[in-house]
Every structure is written in C-alpha cells, then in structure tokens.
Amino acid sequence: MFVYIVRRLMQTIPVVIGVTILVFSMMHLVPGNPAQIIAGESASPTQVAQMEERLGLNDPLPVQYFSYVGNAVTGDLGNSIRSGNAVTDEIFSRLPVTIELALYSTFLSIFIGLIAGVISATKRYTFTDAAIMIVALFGLSMPNFWLGLMLVQYFSLPPLQWFPVTGWGTPQHIVLPVLTLGTAGAAIIARMTRSSMLDVINQDYIRTARAKGVKERIIIYKHALRNALIPVVTVVGLQFGVLLGGTVIIEQVFAINGLGRLVIEAISARDFPVVQGSVLVIALMFVLVNLLVDLSYRFLNKRIELD
Amino acid sequence: MSDKQNTIIDVNELQTSFFVDGKEVKAVDGVTFDVPSGKTLGIVGESGSGKSITSLSIMRLINNPGKIKGGEINFNGENLLDKSEAQMRKIRGNQISMIFQEPMTSLNPVFTVADQIGEAVMIHQKLSKKKAREKSLEMLKLVGIPSPEKRLDNYPHELSGGMRQRVMIAIALACRPELLIADEPTTALDVTIQAQILRLIRNLQEELGMSVILITHDLGVVAETCDYVAVMYAGKIVEYADVNTLFRDPKHPYTVGLLKSLPRHDIDMEGDLSTIKGMVPTPDNMPKGCRFAPRCPFARDMCRENLPHLEDEGDGNQVRCWIHTDQWDGPEVNVKDDYESAASKQS
C-alpha cells in the first residue's frame, strides 16, 4: 500500500510539471506586455524597462521558467499587482471558504444521492422510482446560478427571510449556497447509484446472500452497496474537484469571498500573478483529489491490484 | 412413490411462470417429485427444461417477473409456499442450502472467505464474530481446503474455481442443513476438479446425513452421485426412477434418447453418436399433447393430441408416456430396444 502511494505520487509529477508549464506560459501568451501592465498604462518606457528587468523578462524563457518553479516550490508565487500582497497569502485567505463550500456540497450530494439512488434501484419501475428519477433530471438540468437566484428569491427575501441573501460565516449563510451546489451533484450521484445498484443486484453473489437467509435490508446496504460504490466514488471525486475550482458562479451569486471570486476579480483586474497562482493551486488540488479517489478504490474493492 | 414417512421434501404439482410483456411463460409446469431422507435426487434435463427454476422455487428465490403460481412444496411436512418471507429466511442457509453453477461469480468480491462463511452461522445460530470465525475454519477443513488458516482472510479473487466452489459448499453446509440443493455445481469446473467436488458432496452427505438435490445435464454425474433421478423435459417431469432402474431399464423415449447420446467407452461404437432430432420446444410454441411428441420416434396422433400423466409403474418409479398406458393404440413397443430403429426412420 505504501509503495503504491509513493508510486502514485511519482506519477503525478509529470502532470504537475505540465501544469506549471501551462501556467507559466499564460504570462507570455496573453496579449500585451506584462511589464507594461504591471507598471501601469501611464508608465514611461524607462519605467517599463526597469519593470522588465525586475521581473526578469529579459532572461531566456527556460531561465524564467525555472526561477518561477523554484520560487513556487518555496511558496513564493509572486505578488498581487492590485494589492501588492503575496499571491500565496491572497489564495490561502480565500481557499478555506471554497473548500468548506465544496465539502459541504459534496457531503450533501452524497447523502441525498446515495439514499435516492438506492431507493430508486430497490423500487425500480415503480412510481417512487419514476418520481425520484424525474426530480433527479430536474436537479441535473437546472442551471445552478438560476437555482441559487430562485432560492434567494423565495427563502431570503420577504416574506420568509429565513436565510441571509449574501455572505459567509454563520450556519445560516451556508444553507442556500450548499443546497444550490449540492443539487446537481446529488442528481448525478442518484442516477449513478441507481444504475450501479441495478447492475449489482442481478449478480450471482447477491443470490448467494439471499440463499444464505440474509435480510433484504442487509443485502442491499452491505452486500450490494459496497460493490456498487466504485463508479459512484469516481463521480464524487470528479464532482469535488470541479467544485474546488468551479464554485465561481455561486460565489458570485451569494457574494462569498472564495477562490472562485478571487480568480474572477484577478482576471478583470489583469492581476496575472494571482490568476497564475490560483490556477496552479486548483490544478494541484484536482490532482490530489484524483489520487484519493484511486486510493479509495483499493479500499472498496480488494480485487483492484495496486502494486 | 417412495415412503412418505422418510421423505425430506415432497414437491407436488409445482407451477412457476414468468410474465413477460403480459404473456405467461410456464417454466415449471406441474412438477412432482420427492426426495427420500438422506438420499440424492438428480434432476436431469436440457437447458431451459426448468430444472434450475424448480430448485430456485424450492428456495422461494424466484424474483420478478417470475412467480410461483401453484402446487405444494412440503419440507418436513410443512408447505414452504405457505411460509412468510421472514420464515423462509430462517430456513434458507439453515435447513435448506443451495450452491450454484458459477463459483467464479457466486462469492461476493469485497468480503473475505471467513466473512462469507461466518455470515450464515451468525444469522442462524447467533454466533459471535469470533465463534463464527472458528466455525469458518472448521468448515474450510471439512471441505478440504489446504492451509485453511491462511485462506480465511483471502478474498474470492485469490482462489481458483475449484477452491471457490469448496468455499461455496462450506457456506452452504455451515449450518448443517437437512437438504442441499446443488445447481450444476461442477459444470463450470475442470473435469479433474469436477470429480473431486462430486466426491466431496457425496462424502459430506454421508458424514452429515443430509439429503441432496443435484441439478445437472450430465448423466455421467447422475450415475456417479445419485440414488434417484427425475428427468425433466419442457417444464415437466417425464420419468422418475431409482438410478439403477433408470440406466438399466429406461422407459421414456426422451430418457432413452439421452442415454443413447452419451458417449460410451465400454462398448464399441459404430458410426456417429446418436442425437435427439429437433429442438426443445420454446414456451410460446408448446405442443398441445405430449411435449416430446414432435421429437419422439414413436409418436402417434394420440401423443400429439393429449398430454399423458405421470403414471406409477408399481415399483415406485414413474413415467409420463402413452406407450406405458392401457390407452396406447399403437403396436407393442419396447422403448429401449426399438429406439434406434425407430429413430433412423424418423424424417
């Protein structure tokens, strides 16, 4: 197991190198001179030249790349053009909110999705099954910014006013954004769980369990669900990864100061170091989540050989 | 029929159907047989004859769209078809156990051998996890698995097919059932392993004094293992006899056809192995009279028009064929001796 983790970590190295090259290239691929942008529109050519020198833009590209990576490894991703603060500080002040949001939303979608999927599968072709699947289809098809706005409309504005419209910090703040983000995930997980369970329920070993005299509830939750989880875990991992980098719209709708909002602000302010840094961090988190998903396969099903 | 006092299970006019697209498919259509205590009954038939459905019906493990429509399954004098699902669960894996054709897929891939054997005793005998583990070890020893201590914590994928079938047998026998139903237990295994598994079942049967229903399509297996044989064709029993009588003096043309199509090494065979002409009828195209009539070399109009009953032959053996009744309107036939000449004239 340990050997596998190390090997799997090694495998992520090329991915991470690829990510840094892409992120590094951003600086040079966008139109305009970064030094000009950083120095400001009104800067004199001398000031721009000084800035170029300071940013090392006159060095050969490989030298620039290695100095970028070298700095990144020590946690130095440059400074924000807007605020002048270290990019790492900017990111890590925003990251916890986004991670919290992604975690809660994922938990909610797992909880609703698994229960709905299992019920749907055990009651297949009944009214309950059809109802759950139709609701899931709605959940999947609703654009989440729209759902967010609707939730605000009905639950945050008069007459109900149950939850605050915007912001983050108290449990009341969490409810609507998490509900908004969790819905689509719950729908996907419910559909995945259903089809996976239906597949497993027809397997020979389920018949063996029945022939042993095992109770139906235990057959479903112990014998079948554990086997049905593998495709579900894959989907959960992907969802979580997407949420980590992709809560942009919802953070905007609910005015939550998370990573997504930081990226948007940085892009509109042409704050390249912050954009670069955020993309790098999001990509690294995605790699990490995928690693965790792979490790969980082994935990769920011993047939999957790791070494 | 054999003595009722010593019968472990008595199946009477069992009917199991599947309902597909509003149409009824009669998979088991009035099956009647019994199993004397401590004996082995072989149920023989081609694919689709209803033998597996019969065994699953006894376990009451028929799932939608299938349904047991009628009849009786008397186990120790109590009709299993009257039992609630909860009562059936107490019987399954405890008094009646079953092993299946596919050892490769019949074990749950995510649980260890010990978990899967122990589960049955934990359910039925309320043993603790530790006791259940001891029981699992005892069972692994009983079914002859080498280094059983090591195998306890193995997962199914770490075992060979023969090994897995031994584990299946260990699961089935963990609660010392009175009746074991083995549905083609050796079909998916190598020939050498087949013989081992059959011998194991046979030995355990004597050791534990249980009764066995062995479902197979292989008459060789029947000859080796069974005391009684029920031959099934198209959802019905066509002949029931003790194993010696069946092989020495088969009465139903289908049984004779099956025996003639067995390769023999003890007598010189000339020419090709004989086959039974035609195909097993599909359920939507079931013959009106005797179901074997379209393929039977002796069939007459009366066979094609009327379904014969399963008639007692006086010696406890039964056959479902007009030839062996008083109503037979054709020339005198000795099914066994005349089969080949009649079959050669068949178009």
B246-249 long-range contacts (CB < 8 A, ≥24 apart) are B246/B222, B246/B317, B247/B223, B249/B336
Handedness of CA B213, B214, B219, B220 (dihedral sign): negative
Q: Which of B59, B90, B155 sits opposite A211 (nearest CB)?
A: B59
Cβ-defined contact of A212 to B119 (cutoff 8 Å): yes
State whether residue A296 sits within 8 Å of chain B by CB: no
Q: Which of B102, B105, B110 sits opposite A226 (nearest CB)?
A: B110
Q: Which of A220, A213, A222 has the alpha carbon at shortest distance from A197?
A: A220
Q: Domain boundaries in chain B?
A: 106-175, 251-345
Cβ-defined contact of B92 to A204 (cutoff 8 Å): no
Rounded CA-CA distance A18/B69 in Å is 65
For residue A210, what pLDDT is reported? 93
Rounded CA-CA distance B200/B143 in Å is 7
Residue A40 φ then ψ, to 5°? 105, 155
- Do A90 and A239 meet the contact criterion of CB atoms below 8 Å apart? no
- Do B279 and B292 meet the contact criterion of CB atoms below 8 Å apart? no
Contacts of B347 (CB under 8 A, 6+ apart): none
- DSSP assignment of chain A, as one string? -HHHHHHHHHHHHHHHHHHHHHHHHHHHHSSS-HHHHHH-TT--HHHHHHHHHHHTTTS-HHHHHHHHHHHHHTT---B-TTT-SBHHHHHHHHHHHHHHHHHHHHHHHHHHHHHHHHHHHHTTTSHHHHHHHHHHHHHHHS-HHHHHHHHIIIIISTTT--S-SS--SSHHHHHHHHHHHHHHHHHHHHHHHHHHHHHHHTSHHHHHHHHHT--HHHIIIIIIHHHHHHHHHHHHHHHHHHHHHH-HHHHHHTT--SHHHHHHHHHHTT-HHHHHHHHHHHHHHHHHHHHHHHHHHHHH-TTS---
Rounded CA-CA distance B3/B235 in Å is 25
B24-31 long-range contacts (CB < 8 A, ≥24 apart) are B25/B283, B25/B284, B26/B235, B26/B283, B26/B286, B27/B53, B27/B66, B27/B235, B27/B283, B28/B53, B28/B54, B28/B57, B28/B235, B29/B234, B29/B235, B29/B236, B30/B71, B30/B235, B30/B236, B31/B71, B31/B232, B31/B235, B31/B236, B31/B237
H helix or E strand, kind and range, residue B96 = strand B96-99
pLDDT tens-digit readout, B138-189? 999 988 899 999 999 999 989 988 899 999 999 999 999 999 999 988 888 8
Q: Which of A190, A102, A104, A198 has the alpha carbon at shortest distance from A139?
A: A190
Residue A106 φ then ψ, to 5°? -65, -45
Residue B311 φ then ψ, to 5°? -105, 140
pLDDT tens-digit readout, B249-307? 899 999 998 888 877 666 655 666 677 888 888 777 888 889 999 888 898 888 988 89
Instruction: Reply yes or no: is the peptide bond before residue B253 cis, omega within 30 of 0.
Output: no
List residues in chain B touching A: CB distance below 8 A.
59, 61, 89-94, 97-98, 100, 102, 105-111, 119-120, 123-124, 155, 157, 168, 171-172
Q: What is the mean pLDDT of residues B322-335?
A: 86
pLDDT value at B5 more than 70: no
Rounded CA-CA distance B81/B72 in Å is 6
pLDDT tens-digit readout, B100-125? 988 889 999 989 999 999 999 999 99
Per-residue pLDDT of chain A (307 residues; tens, 9 = 90+): 778 788 888 888 898 889 888 888 877 777 777 777 777 777 788 888 887 787 777 788 888 888 888 888 888 888 887 788 888 998 999 888 889 899 999 999 999 999 999 999 999 889 999 999 999 999 889 888 898 888 888 888 877 788 887 777 788 888 888 999 899 899 999 999 999 999 999 899 999 999 999 999 999 999 999 899 988 998 998 888 888 876 788 888 888 888 888 988 888 887 888 888 888 888 888 888 888 888 888 777 766 654 4
Measured in angstroms, the CA of B236 and the nearest CA of chain A are apart by 24
For residue B347, what pLDDT is reported? 62
Mean pLDDT score across all residues of chain A:
86
Q: How many Å separate Cα B183 from the centre of its chain?
A: 6
- ipTM of the complex model: 0.85
State whether residue A221 sits within 8 Å of chain B by CB: no
Rounded CA-CA distance B174/A212 in Å is 10
pLDDT tens-digit readout, B198-241? 888 999 899 888 999 999 988 888 988 899 999 999 989 999 99
pLDDT value at B79 more than 90: yes
Token couple for B315: 């010696």
pLDDT value at B3 more than 50: no
Cβ-defined contact of B92 to A213 (cutoff 8 Å): yes
A56 forms bridges with which residues in the sheet? none
Partners of residue A226 in chain B, C-beta under 8 Å: 110
For residue A292, what pLDDT is reported? 87
B231 forms bridges with which residues in the sheet? B44, B239
Rounded CA-CA distance B295/A234 in Å is 54
Handedness of CA A52, A57, A60, A64 (dihedral sign): positive
CB pairs under 8 A between A and B: 69
Which residue from A minimizes the CA distance to B102?
Answer: A204
Cβ-defined contact of B92 to A210 (cutoff 8 Å): yes
